[in-house]
Amino acid sequence: MLAAAALAMLVSVPAAQAADATPMDPNPGPAGSFAWKGFNWEKRFWGGAPQYNRAFAAANVSGPNANGYVTMKLTNPTGASPVAAEFQSTRKGFGYGTYSTTVEKNLSLLQKEVVWGCLFTYDPLAEPGFNEIDLCEASAWGGGASYGQSWPVTQGHGYWFDASKPPGQGNNTTVFDVTASPITTHRMVWEPGRLTFETYAGAGYVGTLLKRTVLEGSTVPVPAKEQVHFNLWVTGGGGGDPAHVKPENVVIRDFSFTPASTTPPPVPAPAIKLTATTTNSKGSNTTALTWTGAAGTSVTLWTDGTQKTVLNSGSFVNKIKDGATTAYKICDAGGCSAVVNV
The structure's pTM equals 0.72
Question: For 310-327, how does the pLDDT look when each residue is reduced to its tens digit (9 = 90+)?
Answer: 999 999 998 877 667 788
Cα–Cα distance, 63 to 191 (Å, whole number): 32
Please check whether residue 302 is in contact with residue 290, taking contact to mean a CB–CB distance below 8 angstroms.
no
According to the model, what pLDDT value does residue 323 have?
64
According to the model, what pLDDT value does residue 3 have?
39
According to the model, what pLDDT value does residue 11 have?
38
Per-residue pLDDT of the chain (342 residues; tens, 9 = 90+): 433 333 333 333 333 344 688 999 999 999 999 999 999 999 999 999 999 999 999 999 999 999 999 999 999 999 999 999 999 999 999 999 999 999 999 999 999 999 999 999 999 999 999 999 999 999 999 999 999 999 999 999 999 999 999 988 999 999 999 999 999 999 999 999 999 999 999 999 999 999 999 999 999 999 999 999 999 999 999 999 999 999 999 999 999 999 997 555 555 667 899 999 988 877 778 889 999 999 888 888 988 878 889 999 999 998 877 667 788 898 887 778 888 888
According to the model, what pLDDT value does residue 223 have?
96
Between CA 215 and CA 218, with CA 216 as vertex, the angle to 5 degrees is 135
Peptide bond into 128 cis (omega under 30): yes
Please check whether residue 34 is in contact with residue 27, taking contact to mean a CB–CB distance below 8 angstroms.
no
Helices (H) and strands (E) in the chain, counts: 1, 23
Residues near 34 by Cβ (< 8 Å), separated by ≥ 6? Answer: 16, 17, 40, 41, 43, 63, 64
- 56 secondary structure, DSSP code: B
* Residue among 298, 225, 250, 288 at smallest CA distance from 101: 250
* Residue among 50, 200, 185 at smallest CA distance from 117: 50
3-state SS, one letter per residue, for 80-145: CCCEEEEEEECCCCCCCEEEEEEEECCHHHCCCCEEEEEEEEECCCCCCCCCCEEEEEEECCCCCH
Question: For 275-288, how does the pLDDT look when each residue is reduced to its tens digit (9 = 90+)?
Answer: 999 888 777 788 89
Cα–Cα distance, 81 to 229 (Å, whole number): 23
Separation of first and last alpha carbons in the chain: 79
- 211 secondary structure, DSSP code: E
